[in-house]
Structure 1
């Protein structure tokens, strides 16, 4: 069993009611593993922040800067803010759950047969270019795939 992912600088503690309210407000259902992650961390900077990218030419790795949460005093760190800002750019059925050190987002599929899968969205791709890359079939597998190096944040 993989070590749980620790984060720091996450938002204030959440309750299951906070998550239900978010889901109802946005008409979506979050996977249980992602809800559990939010209840434990409410986003934040992950200690294991490196991920491998397959298919994105010239960019075999990415670094997660921050997982979004709820009720964070910093507006741009919130799931709802990012949903609103990127709703016309990120494909329907995906929600941005984290950001890289650039404009790219880590997205969670919340609809259809791929619900629960995690994708990398390339925010720099032109409208006629591919901008979505599969990372994992589910959130738990995604977290297990993350690695750390000497530049990764330290939580202790």
Structure 2
């Protein structure tokens, strides 16, 4: 994964965030937050099978960010409080603002691409606007590939 991390967090900071949100984060995602505290993603893409679409990832949110509150997990949790489930967290976005959703428990547990503004026709036509990507955060990171610009 080619990223520019925003720093580190302590175990205590992650634990305090979990207490604030009322649920535990998956261990692999916790370790990402401790080691990197979010990151700008450097020209990495992932494939959304159900959309048959390659997507450029832009940001993975952290607990804190000195540049912008809008790059934090807490900001997006408050922003989408009414739209996401109890044990769900918006963890990042693509350059168009479509988000990466982490569902931490239940039969739908995993990482999803959330086309919440229905940019893709399939999201407008069908009832759903979330598309499964991976069972775990680690598996999602393993999906990331270097962006190869189209040649003319």
The one of 70, 74, 81 aligned to 1:80: 74
Q: TM-score, normalised by structure 1?
A: 0.82
In structure 2, distance between residues paired with 1:31 and 1:77: 20
1:154 corresponds to which residue? none
- Cα distance, 1:87 vs. partner? 1.6
**What is the number of equivalent residue pairs in this alignment?**
143
Indicate the structure with greater strand content: 2
**Structure 2 gaps, min length 5:** 119-123
Indicate the structure with greater helix content: 2
Tell me the SS of whatever aligns to 2:16: helix
The one of 48, 61, 64 aligned to 2:54: 61
- Cα distance, 1:12 vs. partner? 3.8
Residue-by-residue CA offset, 1:60-116 (whole Å, 9 max, x unaligned): 11111100001212100000001110122234432100111112111111222343x
2:36 corresponds to which residue? 41
**Structure 1 gaps, min length 5:** 152-156
2:103 corresponds to which residue? 109
Q: TM-score, normalised by structure 2?
A: 0.84
